[in-house]
Amino acid sequence: MTTSPDQPDSRPSTPGAPAGPAEPAHEARRISRRAVLGMAGVGLAGAGLAGGFLAGSAAASARDTAPSAGPAEGDGAFAFLGEHQAGITTPVQDSLHFATWDVTTQDRDEVVALLRAWTLAASRMTQGLPAGEFGPMSGPYDAPPDDTGEAEGLPASGLTITFGFGPSFFTAADGSARFGLDGRKPDLLADLPHFPGDMLEDARCGGDLAVQACANDPQVAVHAIRNLARIAFGTASVRWSQLGYGRTSSTTTAQPTPRNLFGFKDGTANITSEESSAIDEHVWVAPGDGADWLAGGSYLVARRIRMTIETWDRAPLREQETIVGRTKGSGAPLSGGEERTEPDFEAAGRGGVPLIDPASHVRLAHPTSNGGARMLRRGYNYTDGSDGLGRLDAGLFFLAYVRDPATQYVPMQNALAKHDLMSEYLRHTGSGIWAVPRGVAEGAMLGGDQGAFVGQELFA
Ligand code: HEM
């Protein structure tokens, strides 16, 4: 039996109950959802869904179920539409689900259809709506629901969904161009080189497509990735994914600096969204940088960095601070001052010994050691159980956005891998690089066969 999506079949309200007309509450929910969609247009264009942060109650009311109790901080919605994709300069949320996909189809039209469907679903989920029009408990009774349901009743939770294209998306293993994208791969979108000490696991590396889902509720982030994977079924399959918690950076001066699993403040010297000229200089790809379709976008580097925390925990405090170059308490540089005081790498103590060790992490990662290069870090802690030898498989899932990976990431990682005192406690086990296109413009219509989608300029 076929059922029109607009006229769902009658169904029992509970499994095993006799079939009958849809229950009134169910109809009320459908009407409420339609009202929301009617207000927002097919693609949620307008209706305040672009260009700002909706208060928790506003976002929750967009969902067709009762909002969760209390307007907890961080419940609200970030705009999905805009000049840049959300999830880069957006204030870093508490939880991450990051995933990459390998595209399994050869058909360019199917890839475009996937990107269209993903864009529409992402625009909805980031506003606290189900991934699909009907949601988990409505729609045709004999078809799988168009949302998996575990985020039902939860607010938008600050969800952002950020999409990127990896080098392998453009080029097949035999070197031929995929999906008719000859000449479209930016020169800077090159696989990262092997760095000294890399212990990369193939199953945690690369991927044609990457999605970073960040939210203030882990269930909301996982729900987003799960629904994108569901939508991609038959077109792209998940290659690997990573959960993260407890952000290891700040992207606004209003956010307190969090701590990583070494117990140190992390993100002190990060680029913040308030530094608009630094963002333009170090994060956004500019017209003329080499790939016009990527202007307004960025490059994302991901590294899964396992930390040998049991060994670290036996290192004296003096050694820990020497390695980082900052105090464990306030995060101030060892040359003195407070957390935000600029490190003074010339300052010396007794016998002319530098107060900040030249091989400390902060000295080697500082712009003065890297030709002025900076990056926008957006990483998370992770703990993936233990390794069977009594050690936690824990560390930092490093995420950084840069305008030019060849000058901003590769030389710094090389220097850190070779000289950083911290390297002894780190094992890089996963890696990838993706080109992250600009955002879908405010006012764009989404959905259908003609809707706008993330990365559309690439296929133009
Ligand atoms: C598990 C691995 C890592 C840990 C635990 C770690 C920890 C830290 C800490 C505690 C700071 C000082 C506070 C701050 O300014 O944020 C810092 C700064 C920094 N780190 Fe890392 N980091 C790691 C990996 C990396 C990697 C792989 C890179 C890049 C290749 C990197 C780049 C930076 C940069 C650019 C700074 C700011 C330096 C400055 O301007 O003063 N870090 N990191």
What does the pLDDT average to over 141-167?
A: 98
Ligand 1 atom having least distance to the Cα of 426 = 1
What is the overall mean pLDDT for the chain?
87
> Separation of 347 CA from ligand 1 center, angstroms?
21
| Token pair of 439 as six digits | 């955002």
**What digits encode the pLDDT tens for the residues 224-241?**
999 999 999 999 999 999
- Is the C-beta atom of 262 inside 6 A of ligand 1? yes
- pLDDT given for residue 34 in this prediction: 31
Q: How far is Cα 88 from Cα 428, in angstroms, rounded to an integer?
A: 23
Which atom of ligand 1 sits closest to the CA of residue 331? 13
d(CA 329, CA 420): 21
DSSP structure class, residue 26: H
Work out the percent of the chain whose per-residue pLDDT is above 70: 84
pLDDT of residue 239: 98
Integer Cα distance of 144 and 131 in angstroms = 13
Atom of ligand 1 nearest to the CA of 260: 5
Give me ligand 1 centre to Cα 336, in Å.
19
The string over 97-117, giving b where at least 16 C-beta atoms fall within 10 Å of a residue's C-beta and e elsewhere, is bbbbbbbeeeeeebbbebbbb
Nearest ligand 1 atom to alpha carbon 412? 30
**∠ at Cα 295 (289, 298), nearest 5°?**
90
Distance 54 CA to ligand 1 centre (A): 32
What pTM value is reported for the model? 0.88
Residue with tokens 């161009």: 177
Average pLDDT, integer, range 176-180: 97
What is the per-residue pLDDT for 144? 97
Of ligand 1's atoms, which has the minimum distance to the CA of residue 249?
16
If you take atom 40 of ligand 1, which residue's CA is the nearest one?
366
115 Cβ below 6 A of ligand 1: no
Q: Is 365 in the pocket of ligand 1 (CB under 6 A)?
A: yes
Query: To test the ligand 1 pocket, which listed residue (369, 398, 408, 409) has its Cβ within 8 A of the most ligand atoms?
Result: 398
To test ligand 1's pocket by mutation, which of 364, 377, 428 has the most ligand atoms within 8 angstroms of CB?
A: 377
Q: What is the pLDDT of residues 328-375, one digit of tens each?
A: 999 999 999 999 999 999 999 999 999 999 999 999 999 999 999 999
Residue 306, ligand 1, Cβ within 6 A: no
Which residue's alpha carbon is at the smallest distance from atom 7 of ligand 1?
266
Write phi, then psi, for 56 (nearest 5 degrees).
-50, -45
Give the chain's radius of gyration (CA, Å).
Answer: 23
Closest Cα to atom 31 of ligand 1: 365
> Is residue 249 scored above 70 in pLDDT?
yes
Q: Residue 290's pLDDT is what?
A: 87
Q: pLDDT per residue over 382-427, tens digit each?
A: 999 999 999 999 999 999 999 999 999 999 999 999 999 999 999 9
Ligand 1 centre to CA of 366 (Å) is: 9
Predicted confidence at residue 20, as pLDDT, reads 33
Ligand 1 centroid–CA 100 distance in Å is 24
pLDDT tens track for 43-101: 333 333 433 344 333 333 333 333 333 333 588 999 999 999 999 999 999 999 999 99
